[in-house]
Amino acid sequence: MTKFDQVYKDLIRKILDEGIEELNVRTGKKTKALPGITFSIDLEKDGLPILTLRKNPLKSPIAETLWFISGSKKPDEFLRKFTKMWDPFLESDGTLAAAYGWRWRHAFGRDQLDALVKLLTADPSSRHGVVVTWDPREDGYGGIPKKNVPCPYTWTVNIIGGRLHLHNIIRSNDMMLGCPFDTLGFSLLANILAQKLGVRPGIYTHSISNAHIYDNHYEGAKELVSRTNDHTNIMLKLPENAYDRACNMDEALVPEILEPLMAQYNPLPQIEGLSIAV
């Protein structure tokens, strides 16, 4: 198995065995959950963390990540050409109220992503490379109603030893669907930022405050932990100028990233019944 397959499989088993089962009032479903889960993947050594123990979508997290970099909050701009995954969360005006990229580039009085690139270009040793997605003025606490609030709510970039390390902090992760998706997307983001800054990709760290499995996913989770394979690491071949092309919503960038990954990807069959809890 790949490094990510093993890490992920061990986490799912741990939650099944040790997770606390409680009712989630918002969804009406029970979950097994554990607090404070963290794992790391060396993107240079272990490749792009793509789940192979079941068939996992690749095009949608790639397109989503590029859309985030563009700073848009309208899926009709670029994203819906590749996936309609955000449609259930759209507001009446066709926007995503808590679009991550919009928050990174247009909220809080500054373009955080642009500032990050400029900061680490000028001073690679800086420890101030923090990007925030959660809006404390509006998100959560039973405040302004939204169809979606950010799960990955902040991330930090450090350049250490000539490599870019990204630490992603997630308040809540649906482990069977959200975790593999977010891990792939933010690892791709780390690679794109490393290329833009002229350094090598480093360690991607994924920290979850509430790591849970929904009760309608229990059987699928048991099926996953019973599986094994001999899949090799999947290495990313990133096209040149990926950051700038994403900023400009270059649609050709999606297949240029996707096709070399698909040529290496030979997953086990999908697991049925993994419907999203909205």
Question: Catalytic positions, please?
Answer: 151
**Cβ atoms 269, 54 nearer than 8 A:** yes
| Whole-angstrom distance, CA of residue 92 vs CA of residue 96 | 9
Give the pairing type, strands 163-170 and 173-174: unpaired
**Cβ atoms 257, 188 nearer than 8 A:** yes
User: Vertex 103, ends 166 and 106: CA angle to 5°?
Assistant: 120
Structure tokens at 81: 């050409």
**Cβ atoms 107, 131 nearer than 8 A:** no
Which 3 state secondary structure label does DSSP give 30?
Answer: strand
